[in-house]
Chain A
Amino acid sequence: MAGLTLNHIYKRYDNSGKKKKVKNDFAVKDLNLVCEQGEFIALLGPSGCGKTTTLRMIAGLEEITDGEIYIGERLVNNLHPKDRNIGLAFEDYAMYPPLNVYGNVAFNLRAKGVDKSEIDRRVREIAPLMQIDDLLEKMPVKLSGGQKQRVNIARAIIREPELLLMDEPLSHLDGKARQAMRTEIKRLINKIKCTTVYVTHDQLEAMSLADKIAIINFGVLQQFGTPTEVYDDPVNEFVASFIGEPPMNILETTIIKKEGTFFFTFSNSNLEIAVPQRYYSVISDGFRCKMGVRPMDVLIGGPDSQGTPEKIATFENLGDERRIGIHVGDILMMLITEDEKRYKRGDIIKLEVRGEKTHLFDITTGDRIREKK
């Protein structure tokens, strides 16, 4: 059963009052998503891509220009937000300062006139889940950011909503609290099995939490898939460079043919990489495109390596791993290694690129060029 269905959703903000004509007038354009019951979906994209607008339309806080939204089997287009049976957790905690944590968590149920003993039962049930059992008597001002966000999420799920909507709930927290909270959210959703839509601009958060990620740019859905799918099999250059840190190395290349073998070549560089055989049907001698390869698929060759000798431009020792940058034309190509060796700028290494891990992208549209099946 579908937990949430978005059917050809459009959103256009009315700009008639403004002097300046906005070029891309659709904030969200023909968005289709089906989220299964109990699935955790991340809406991911750069700021201004329309992900929060989408979330607000699902919540009913924003009108829809065109399209249909179903929560479960119900068409909710014309339902008031309070009748949509959703739980909301935003970046700001927006707690009631005169109420203690218990009062804040219980507030919505009290407003609905739920029986007092029932409220107490539910608060006591959720508190350990969010690890706020020791905080129930505290006032909001006494809480840390991480604790406030726990209370905030507890407040959203206590209503036992059909759909949980979260908008960047971790972006206020510092690194450590964020990491801990990520783990808690992941466990919580796994336990309560509530269909969840989660908005973030942080690809790491999306990758670590979501069952499926919808990557949006300029209001248009680019790709919808599991974290592994979007990482290993991106549909275009945008997705390829947005997912992963450091991002995929993407370089303009001219493919040349030498003695029956095709090679990627790059302007102002000696680097040559053998093109995987599977692409032979879609390329030709002199074919121009972009080549993408992830930093972990670029390797340092051993002493007998056939790899191209290249000079190290940057060497960053990050403790857990080391990153090396090599100039290929104007582009700094990054590689990651857990090798313990300490290099210096100017050292020569033999560079090997795992050809089978390369992706091809169209030079103008950025779309993936795939081998013919």
Chain B
Amino acid sequence: MGHDHRMKRRQFIEMGASSIAAASASGFLLGCAGQALEKPTTAAVVPSADAPRVSYFSRFGVDEGMIRDGLADALSRGADHADLFFQHRVSNGLQLEDGEVNRAYTRVELGVGVRVVRGDQTGYAYTEELTREAIKRAAQTAAAVADGPARPAPKALAVGAALPQRYTLDVPWDGIKPAQKLPILDGVNAAIFKMDGRIKKVSVFFADEAGAILIADSQGRLVEDFQPMTVLYVSCVAEQGGRKETNGYNVAGRRGFDFYSPETVGRVVREAVARTTVLFDAVPAPAGEMPVVLAAGSSGILLHEAIGHGMEADFNRKGTSIYADKIGKPIAQPFVNIVDDAAQPHARGAINVDDEGNPAGTTTLVDKGVLATYMHDSISAKHYGLKPTGNGRRQSYQHPPMPRMRATYMLPGPHEHDEIVASVKRGIYCQSFSNGQVQIGAGDFTFYVKNGFLIEDGKLTRPIKDVNIIGNGPRVLERIDMVGKDLVIDEGGWTCGKDVQSVPVSQGIPTVRVSSITVGGQGGTQGAKASAKG
């Protein structure tokens, strides 16, 4: 529960069942709450696209009068903006270990956060007691950031235009009993052991989550959204000749029970086994600068770290990002186009609306090699005199929003996958990743490669594993000199951390070549001076 200063300055991304399971086991660390503990009745309360109306007042036990009272107290010292963010999120986790689904985790979060904004200053407070008095108290605490005469609360609250419906579920989770979920975990476990005798341990973590949010602000806007999520993390340990290796695979998305088709489960099993057992053939990765080819899909981690965080507008309005002052300037080859997209259907990083109630669409970060648009929340948008881009997100009602990524990916380019691999005389090919991190101001970033291959004379040869790659954002973008046609949005369960807040994100990329970047292998520096052809 420590307030860890090392975390405050970290911007990172990671995946892994252990962190999720740990969080679920002690939900209070992430913020758990609950007054109304009814399981969300998903089907009945999904906002209708046809007739905008508020369906969540009863879920939170509030009415318009209580909300307007809260807003009035939030504006009692004359702020520019105030909002109330109500959240009710129920997470159900199941874990299989040593062949049995023998532990479950349930977490209920319910509460309201009150934000008061004056210029770029934020006052924030929250409460888990959804009573008129408790909301007023939180609002008065948050209002301390301002010091002027009171502003009137909106006379009426109204629901705006209908939201897009990017994650409507065919088979919602609230109708699914635990006994129907257990076979997913048991099936994955049995299939993995059947597939390869070298597998000694399998751990499977499964979760479904139902999240409802209701946002009311000082302009009188009311917005609500229902945000489902599911994840399936599989991790294997294999043994061969006294040597152990571990790896896995995972899938996630804003999806329902129908997501776990035999095809999805089969893919998870095959990938988990293949990515683990290939490591027995791994040779030490080289150390030093060399050409690196990134496989289509989860290699989008490069974009998340090399440019994504640096394009979050809060760092730029503060002048602390290496991309501050670079809008409109060429930073990459003309075939490099990078977006941050809220609209990928059912993606883990998809949102219908952001956590400030602003419409969320597609933000173009790099347009034909030219730095185009930062990702904004309402504070940074106001600072720059622009419209918000729908990137204002938060971990929960316990946190104020800030500019965050959603699904960050590069659009397809002109090159063929095989042509890209064939162009490298001596380098590495990166296939799967566990985590990455960036320094916003210096621009240095890293990502950790769980498995990949050496490229020798234009061919993928021996596997490599456990190697960190480190580069500098703008310099690496300049060195992306080939981009494939084969864009893949990764289906993995990525979580992005920034200023101690975690949010779910997605990422993707076509096959790309970086002409030179530092590879942190253990295999000595031989071959480090080799370069790419073409």
* A and B found bound together: no
